[in-house]
């Protein structure tokens, strides 16, 4: 796959759905998520010569996507994203799954973005600490600390019935 267009096409096929899912969980809007994923691949295409192959393509693409999500929120300060993900919630009826997903979406949307980002990458995308560290440009200990604090805040929000005063 020496041709950049072929490589980009292969990466879109290989990672596009996961990137869309991640962006949607972080943003809560399908159209914006799709736009951010498209921007991610455009950025990759334009800067592919900078890819040092010290990380996998997946890690590199996720780090580009996370940067685009961060830029989106910097531009849209004050707009908090809501989260919805189609995970497996066990053997519960469809309505219960929707209610659970809406509750989780509401609670995640109340976390600070720095915690939400790490939780989404870890639990929704099942990434390892090393991968999250590479994507977020944080040390492994910083990722673990944000994960711990994010879980604590999420638990606090869930215990308080979905209300938290620390939205940022």
Count up the domains in the chain and report the number.
2
pLDDT one-digit tens code per residue, 63-92: 888 888 878 877 765 433 333 333 333 443
The pTM assigned to this predicted structure is 0.55
Give the CATH number for residue 113: 1.10.10.10
pLDDT one-digit tens code per residue, 106-126: 777 788 889 988 988 888 778
- Torsion of Cα atoms, 142 then 145 then 150 then 155, to 10°: 170
Does 143 lie in the same domain as 99?
Answer: yes
For residues 127 and 143, give the distance between their C-alpha atoms in angstroms, rounded to a whole number: 12
**Residue at token pair 């308080």:** 160
Tokens describing residue 76: 């849209």
The answer to whether position 116 is within a domain reads yes
């Amino acid at each position: 796959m020496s041709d950049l267009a072929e490589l980009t096409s292969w990466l879109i096929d290989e990672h596009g759905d996961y990137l869309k899912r991640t962006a949607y969980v972080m943003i809560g809007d399908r159209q914006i998520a799709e736009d951010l994923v498209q921007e991610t691949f455009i950025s990759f295409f334009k800067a592919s010569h900078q890819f040092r192959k010290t990380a996998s393509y997946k890690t590199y693409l996720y780090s580009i996507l996370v940067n685009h999500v961060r830029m989106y929120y910097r531009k849209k300060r004050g707009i908090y994203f809501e989260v919805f993900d189609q995970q497996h919630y066990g053997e519960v009826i469809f309505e219960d799954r929707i209610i659970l997903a809406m509750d989780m979406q509401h609670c995640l949307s109340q976390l600070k973005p720095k915690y939400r980002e790490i939780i989404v990458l870890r639990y929704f995308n099942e990434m390892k600490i090393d991968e999250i560290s590479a994507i977020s440009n944080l040390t492994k200990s910083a990722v673990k600390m944000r994960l711990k604090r994010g879980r604590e805040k999420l638990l606090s929000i869930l215990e308080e019935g979905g209300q938290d005063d620390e939205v940022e």
